[in-house]
Amino acid sequence: MRILGIFVGAGALFAGALAAAGPGPAPPEPPGVDAPPPPGPSVETRLAEIQRRVQAALVYPPAALRRGVAGETKVEFVLGADGHARDVRTRLSSGSDVLDRAAERAVREAGALPYVYGVLVVPVRFALDDRD
């Protein structure tokens, strides 16, 4: 809050100095709210592809398979400019540390992913068969 107040105050001082200097060229118009979205796949399509690639990179831990452990881990991360996951961590545990670590590893090893800005949360499913 304090930084915003200082910035706003400095902006007001700067605007006042411009007004005192006299008229000048008009500032450029900001982009319109109704501007068309950029070309390419939608955010929903990119998120689905990210989830598909993470699931494909998943290696079911052998110890969990032997014990019959299944579940779903929600993994949180951000994408770097290179498309690789950064700051990977478990957001919601499956209840098994082994599965949670495998889910985090799958996100890291999924390679370059389609870019989506912000913090992403992807469910990673561990199923022993199609019924789980």
The CATH number linked to 61 is 3.30.1150.10
- In-domain check, residue 21: no
Q: What six digits make up the tokens of 123? A: 């469910």
pLDDT at position 129 is 80
Question: What kind and span of H or E run contains 49?
Answer: helix 43-57
- Pair 116, 47: CB distance under 8 Å: yes
- In-domain check, residue 75: yes
- In-domain check, residue 111: yes
- In-domain check, residue 57: yes
Distance of CA 110 to the CA centre of its chain: 14
In the structure, what pLDDT confidence band is assigned to residue 39 with cuts at 50, 70 and 90?
confident
Q: Tell me: pLDDT of 97 over 70.
A: yes
Handedness of CA 78, 80, 81, 84 (dihedral sign): negative
pLDDT at position 40 is 86
The per-residue pLDDT of the chain, averaged, comes to 80
- In-domain check, residue 83: yes
Q: Tell me: pLDDT of 102 over 90.
A: yes
- In-domain check, residue 18: no
- In-domain check, residue 112: yes
- In-domain check, residue 49: yes
Determine the Cα–Cα distance for residues 31 and 39; give it in Å rounded to an integer: 16
Domain count, the chain: 1
- Whether the model pTM is above 0.85: no
Q: What domain range includes position 89?
A: 43-126
